[in-house]
Structure 1
Amino acid sequence: MSEHLESEPAAWAAVDRFTRDGRERRGWLRRTVPFKDLGDARMRRQIVRWIGREYHGPTPAIVETLRAALADHDWEVRASAIIVSARVRLQELRGLVRETVLPSANEHGLSERDVRVLVASRIIAIESLASASPDDMDRAQVILRQLSDAPRHLVRSVLGLSVEQHDGAWLLLHSLATPNELADPRPDPLPPGLTLHDQRAWLSGVVELCWVSPQTHLVGGDHLQWEHQPKALDLREHTPAGGFFIARRPLSAAAALQLGLGPFPSRPPSDPTLAARLAETQDPPLALTHDEALALCEHISTRTGAAVTLPTADELECAARGTDGRRFPWGNGLEKLDGRVRSPHGIERFASPIAQWTSTSDENGVPLVLGGLLSPHCAGRAPSQSVNAVRPVVRGKAR
């Protein structure tokens, strides 16, 4: 089954029903379809994580589901199932948790530190499932006595207890155990210049938009090292005031012409790898300087009556990352960089082919970009004086 099935409308509808409707989730546990055949890997991850959030004790259906999840072909499903098995106290699965295969360093882009965290989470889960105590605090204390070198915040993270140390290890476990929250309803009426067609928001009927509601998102924090070593700020919470609409894809030359703007000169990036990927992309995004990107947003505003701007760095990261703190738009592993894979909020082409401009600048006043082949990690921010893509934003009304 395609790893990108979650991007298809039918799968998105299933995920939406599952996420929004508690009755749908309870009904799903009475399913007849095997867990391994339910949607793509990203949907199965969400199912396991919702079980961990909503249930605090086992049922036969939960035992069956997590038994299958511990043997799933997707490493994130397995890692999530280890943590959720400990939180739901599935003592009968202790042996399976012990045998669950975890990835090695450099698989899926994981570092040696990442693998140590995953192995530690499995050891903590095994020790937790050996305890007869129904109290999570008691189990945590027992584990800390038995595993004297286990970091306290990792033990508490695996058991779902609050922690004060929010480092990269905590963020990885958090994203593996936390279901992504889908957006709240779009504002009604829509901002000026926007229309609704087939339940999707559009800018002047040309640019499809995704809605990012004013929910709490995690931004910054743990990041991987790339060629340009993009900067990631300390982990923090960010709630977009009023929410915002953001283009599903960066603006292409064809879309700009439909808006009555252009034509624009062909100016590929100076990096040969980026230039090659851009050339092979169907309906490629425009590659503009920052000043040109700002001017383009002003022209679109004049043409459409919408208040169009570039996103802030926080807004673009939220749109790419969702609410669970994942590393990449598709999850926590570095898989094939496929621009067709949608983020939890629905945006495409964040990680490929080229980076996108923001309205945020660094301490030297140089505009920041996110995304692209050189920095597909959601939290990576890099100053740029090159040409990059434009992903327009229309903000909702602040509450």
Structure 2
Amino acid sequence: MHSIPLTPELLRGALDLERTAHGLLPHRLPARARAQCTDPQLALAESQPSGVRLVFRTRATTVELDTLPTKRVYVGAPPRPEGLYDLLVDGRPAGSASVAGGHTLTIDLATGTAEHRPGPVGTVRFTGLPEAAKVVEIWLPYDETTELVALRTDAPVEPVPDPGGKVWLHHGSSVSHGSVAASPTTTWPALAASLGGVQLINLGLGGGALLDPFTARTLRDTPADLISVKLGINVVNTDLMRLRAFGPAVHGFLDTIRDGHPDTPLLVVSPILCPMHEDTPGPSLMDVAALSEGRLRFRAAGDPAEKASGKLTLGVIREELSRIVRERAAEDPHLNYLDGRDLYGEADLGELPLPDGLHPDAAAHRRIGERFAALAFTPGGPFGKSAA
């Protein structure tokens, strides 16, 4: 077996790479952005490599990747499934596998505490690959912080030159991050990117789509041909701001993106349907009764009457985002709006309910990805002409 150096040329989808005691840790926010916020939830989310993949050309029939994942355990909740590594060969699915071992992060949602327990390096191994020269992609688990330790193959590898085509930069909440998708290539942004024929950079941050200026600057400074921002649900989840602050914050967020991408197609997407917050403000809190039964579920802790004092609901946010985009589009012809309920709405809820009240499941991710591709990337869509 050949030992292959883990170099930046082999990685796509990460915005920063940190050298650690064990190897290479991909980040989805640059160091300067990470230094401006010490929120542990954000630190966890941005270090989970949603959309990050190893890409190389080789004749190898066996590929081994040593990693050190961080796996989460929620006190009182059912065990989480192991994170999956998806293998693509020349763009086609060719297998999935998990890594045993790794660190364990035990989180008590009721108290907000977390305990980190160190663990061993593990190995994911793919065998029986075609002997011909081919492009191999290994998509990392979207919801496990993953340090890359070593790569081995039974034939030499070389980096794949820039494939050309369009780069789609997307920002959103845990729904965009992956929530409970089946695997890293089946999160809705990964599916939509595949269907649209574009290269994905996924800045979906679980719990972290909060109109932070450092996130806007990251979007501003990242080269991209297409940009989308899916905004709203985390602002309600965290009860972060009132209506008076929300509108100007959205304007500022979009202004900053436009400083670096003045003419890039920019799509603002409002939240998908989430019944508990359609007319009830946040915050979102753990449903303790459900947890006592071993079920993970959330509830809206606000009061609908509080809308009168400026507290935000998803209905209010959609109205604001629609208005802001409509007004800005008069001077920005490359700016568009998409109502998230066109991706997942009332009819979908009956067929594919949200398992925990907030997050779509694997089947819903597929539906959202297919619909986004049909609405955004096809001719006549906001990305259609640019993605062609």
* TM-score class, shorter: under 0.3
Greater relative contact order (Cα 8 A, min sep 6): structure 1 or 2? 2
More strand, by proportion: 2
More helix, by proportion: 1
TM-score of the superposed pair, with normalisation by structure 2: 0.28
Larger Rg: 1
